Amino acid sequence: MSLVASESLAMFSKPLKSMTVPSGSYVLSLASLPSCYAASTSAPSNTIHLYDKSDLRVSSTLGGHEEGITTLRMAENIAGNNTRALVSSGRDGTVAVWDERSGSMAIQMRSAGRPRTLLSCDVSLDGLTVAAGTELQGEDALIQYWDPRHPAAPLRTHSMTHSDDITALHFRPSQGKCKNLLLSASSDGLVSTSNADEDDEDEAVLHVGNWSCSIAQAGWFTASNSESPVAWASSDMETFSVWSSEMDLVRDFDIRSPSIHSPQLTWVTDYLIGCHHSSKDLYMFGGSNEGDIALINSSDLSSATAPWHIRAVWSTGHVGVVRAHLWDERASRSFYNNVLLTGGEDSKLNLWSGPPVEVKQETDAMNIDTPPRKRDYDVEMEDTSDHGMKRVKRS
């Protein structure tokens, strides 16, 4: 699989802002609220820190989960109040909706009976349904559904959709024939779609695909040549797959396969950080073991011969594995516009200039800046910006 450097390739070697998270924990996940960024951290803190968007200073700390935080989401609407809210799930068996102004839980949802570790959660488009997926306990892995207006107990529980840890849940980002269509993925190797409004689980499960490997991440996206959302999934072994709306496997491949080796640039992806859906294209953030980050995408994910493009590289900001990314494309008069926020196992939170918003589908020429670390290059480098961008001097 070939990887081609984009004609507008941007490379960054210095963050706009950098911050070390309190207590030296890993940064696990990120979310964007109107006035701040949220970052969840690992043990020993198991907290959510809110960072002011203007300078990355901690503005508040949310510490309501008794055990590790597994998911962090920004919901456009929750409980029908048309207000954005931060939502998290935890190993303590709770889903929390946060009031960022008071720093406390506005809504707390718990399992009926004994607590179950929650590994994933999401909120429906209308904000009236919250879904959470559990760790396998005994013989059951559950998808639980709540109405956040009545959070005392789940509305319904589905126990047969998956037979192992439920690692990803995502409501479809647009409504179709099924108002609340839920994508779920699991360590059992299945990707499924379900009607979240259906009480009868036999009727609720609509389509199931079997990848036969443990799935770590999954999500929706809209293909460039289709108006219907399709799904992607990634495994624990760094393989990647694309699925039709009926959960038929379109193709799968090793995410480490698209690579570039040239005198000007070398990039090999060691692991997938995550994906970003923008303008009907799916972009993948890949990481290197040295802590560098690359944005890559394919002109046609269904084709094994379509070229891949590397759009941007961010280097020297992290040391080691990068766990979380947030591409904030939204314009703001008060704060930085079009930025990438990253967090990793080095306890660093970095705010970078973002990749070009308008991306062309080039197939040849390259415009290279600072290369990732620990690669061999026979080029000279020259600073050309205030934010660590560099351009290659060609001989």
202 SS3 class: helix
Number of domains in the chain: 1
CA distance 277 to 343: 19
Q: In the prediction, which pLDDT does 227 show?
A: 56
Q: Which two tokens stand for residue 304?
A: 């094994």
Q: What's residue 72's pLDDT? A: 96
pTM of the model as a whole: 0.88
pLDDT given at position 299? 83
Greatest Cα pair distance, the chain, in angstroms, is 70
Q: What is the pLDDT of residue 346?
A: 96
Residue 30 belongs to domain with CATH number: 2.130.10.10
* Below-50 pLDDT ranges, the chain: 359-371, 374-395
DSSP state of 389: B
C-alpha to C-alpha distance for 258 and 10, rounded to whole angstroms: 18
Do 323 and 263 form a contact (C-beta atoms < 8 A)?
A: no
Both structure tokens of 221: 């996206």
Q: What is the pLDDT of residue 229?
A: 64
Q: Rounded to 5, what percent of the chain is helix, strand, coil?
A: 0, 50, 45
User: Are 148 and 97 spatial neighbours (Cβ–Cβ below 8 Å)?
Assistant: yes
Residue ranges in the chain assigned as alpha helix (H): 201-204
Neighbours of 127 (CB within 10 A): 22
Domain that holds residue 245: 3-393
Kindly state the tokens that stand for 119.
């590994």
CA distance 78 to 197: 16
- Smallest Cα–Cα separation from 46: which of 86, 89, 84, 87? 89
- In the numeric block, the tokens 């409004």 are attached to 197
Three-class SS of residue 23?
A: helix
Nearest-CA neighbor of 120 among 138, 100, 136, 107?
136
Asked whether the beta carbons of 148 and 109 are under 8 A apart, the reply is yes
* Residue 380 burial (CB count, 10 A): 10
Q: Give the pLDDT score at 63.
A: 81
| Amino acid letter, 85 | A
* Burial (Cβ within 10 Å: 0-12, 13-18, ≥19) of residue 389: middle
Q: How many residues does the chain have?
A: 395
Tokens of 195: 């009607």
Looking at residue 201, what DSSP letter applies? Answer: H
Q: Which residues pair with 126 in a beta bridge?
A: none
Which residues is 162 bridged to in the sheet? 141
239-256 residues labelled b (16+ CB within 10 A) or e (exposed) = bbbbbbbebeebebeebb
Q: Is the dihedral of CA 256, 118, 39, 281 positive or negative?
A: positive
